Amino acid sequence: MRVLGVDPGLTRCGVGVVEGVAGRPLTMLGVGVVRTPADAELGQRLVAVEQGIERWLDEHRPEFVAVERVFSQHNVRTVMGTAQASAVAMLCAARRGIPVALHTPSEVKAAVTGSGRADKAQVGAMVTRLLRLDAPPKPADAADALALAICHIWRAPAQNRLQQAAALHATRAPAARRSPLPSKGRTS
């Protein structure tokens, strides 16, 4: 499985590609950051993020894209930029028919470090170890993108089984609801 992880942001959008399967050593295929100038107009910044992500999709041809789920922050301006960059990443993947998975920061931290409250240094150290790198990727946005890809590779099999079970249940449940119960004591 080849996954492009995206740590969305307007100034620095972390991107990282990891290949492998759960239970086996993983391989980093690329890591970097799509940067936009803070003083540029919002529309231009979003186009720059789109172009950067499109280049990563062209170069690495991932089977999945894992994006950090935007969560509420106290700084509304920051969360808006993050949400906009996240939407651009999802749009780029959807345009190509690539499935997108959203993972919360605590899910990613728990998957990679064992603790949903790990700090950035711990995430970077574990990404370095798991991918057998010489040093943690810099900046932290790049390490976070790799952590997202790792999280998806490790969690996707279980998520797929849950989705299949839910789909099976959904197809059986309507049939059970449609079958009329016999009425007692009523005649037509």
Q: What percent of the chain has pLDDT over 90?
A: 75
Q: So what's the pLDDT on residue 163? A: 65
Model confidence at 162: pLDDT above 70:
no
Q: Which of 68, 107, 134, 144 is catalytic?
A: 68
The pLDDT tens digits of the residues spanning 174-183 come to 655 555 555 5
Q: pTM (2 decimals)?
A: 0.85
Q: Which of 58, 119, 141, 144 is catalytic?
A: 141
How confident is the prediction for the chain on average, in pLDDT? 90
What CA–CA distance (Å, rounded) separates 2 from 39? 35
> Do the beta carbons of residue 107 and residue 32 sit within 8 Å?
no
The pLDDT tens digits of the residues spanning 59-71 come to 999 999 999 998 7
Strands 12-19 and 64-68: unpaired
16: Cβ–Cβ under 8 A, 6 or more apart, which residues? 4, 5, 28, 30, 31, 32, 137, 142, 143, 145, 146, 148, 149
41 is catalytic: no
Model confidence at 188: pLDDT above 50:
no
7 is catalytic: yes
Q: Which of 7, 19, 59, 107 is catalytic?
A: 7
> Do the beta carbons of residue 54 and residue 92 sit within 8 Å?
yes
The pLDDT tens digits of the residues spanning 70-85 come to 876 677 878 898 999 9
Task: Please state the separation of Cα 2 from the chain's center in Å.
Answer: 12
> Do the beta carbons of residue 1 and residue 132 sit within 8 Å?
no
119 is catalytic: no
